[in-house]
Amino acid sequence: MTRLLVPDEVLLGRFGLVRIAGGAAYTVAVAVLFALYGARVWPLLLGVPVLAAVTVWHVRRSPRAPRLTTVGSLAVDAVVLSGAASLVGGTGSGTVMLHTIIIVSAGILLGPLAAAAFTGVGALAGLGQLALEQLGVGPVVLARPELADRATILAISLGVVASVGVLTATYASRLHELVAEAGAEAEVVRRRGKRRRQLVRRASIDVAAPLRELDAVAEQLGASRAWPDAWDAQARERVAARLRMSVARVD
């Protein structure tokens, strides 16, 4: 698959719930870090209203523009998590692996292309973070001063990110293929059912007119007084009754 897929209604609804839960988890984590390290981690507070605003935007706009809102929401998540990782621990803490959450979400919602793209975003974020640390812009807490330590942990983290990206892209591709096949089969069944209903409707219409005619003949047989003597009233009533029974069975 070489294009971004459009999430269905069920996935969009569940992703909205996931965003709400993720925003709450981020808020709790920031509160804990603020309690432990004080005002040094104040920039993390900026992510709380940003995530809340994006979640509201996604919930409101996703029914009309599902692909745009999903990509935009995941992109904002990547920026917020990159900022949080750069402030807490940096490349020496393995927080770059937080991008795996976004990679898996992108693969499930948008397909393998999105998973691959956000894998690249995570890798670039980790490398950019290392470059900033070398320029003196490092984490405010849990920093590792030794470059060798940070480079080793970053290499492991990027390996995890890449592995998750490959697995997600592979499995997401198959998942969306199965969803597409199931949708095609459901459409075939729906069309067959529609044709059968149309056939039954036409058949009922075709049979209705002869049935009405038979019933009319039965009424005439039962009500007529101009029959020969051989057809007395009882005989005509019996014939009329049999006709009505036949009509009832066919109907």
Mean pLDDT per 10-residue interval, the chain, length 251 residues? 61 81 91 89 91 90 84 92 88 87 87 88 90 84 82 90 88 68 67 72 62 65 56 65 63 56
pLDDT at 211: 64
Domain assignment of residue 198, yes or no: no
Note whether 65 and 162 are same-domain residues: yes
Note whether 103 and 58 are same-domain residues: yes
CB 40 within 8 A of CB 143: no
Note whether 49 and 14 are same-domain residues: yes
- What is the tally of structural domains in the chain? 2
Note whether 108 and 68 are same-domain residues: yes
Chosen domain end from 190, 215, 230: 190
pLDDT at 150: 85
Domain assignment of residue 196, yes or no: no
Q: Using CA atoms, how far apart are residues 2 and 92, in angstroms rounded to an integer? A: 35
Name which of 179, 58, 172 is nearest 115 in CA terms. 172
How far does CA 80 lie from the centroid of its chain?
A: 23
The single-letter DSSP state of residue 138 is -
Domain assignment of residue 125, yes or no: yes
What size, in residues, is the chain?
251
How far does CA 195 lie from the centroid of its chain?
A: 30
Q: Using CA atoms, how far apart are residues 175 and 111, in angstroms rounded to an integer? A: 9
Domain assignment of residue 2, yes or no: no
Domain assignment of residue 74, yes or no: yes
pLDDT at 246: 62
The single-letter DSSP state of residue 88 is B
Largest CA distance in the chain: 122
pLDDT at 143: 78
Chosen domain end from 157, 190, 223: 190
Note whether 110 and 220 are same-domain residues: no
Note whether 29 and 145 are same-domain residues: yes
pLDDT at 248: 63
Note whether 214 and 171 are same-domain residues: no
pLDDT at 112: 84
Note whether 37 and 155 are same-domain residues: yes
What's the alpha-carbon Rg for the chain, to the nearest Å? 35
Note whether 104 and 221 are same-domain residues: no
pLDDT at 154: 87
SS3 content of the chain, % helix, strand, coil (to 5): 85, 0, 15
Domain assignment of residue 83, yes or no: yes
Residue 244 structural domain: 203-250
Note whether 59 and 138 are same-domain residues: yes
pLDDT at 250: 56
Note whether 242 and 118 are same-domain residues: no
pLDDT at 147: 84
Chosen domain end from 140, 168, 190: 190
pLDDT at 80: 92
Note whether 217 and 178 are same-domain residues: no
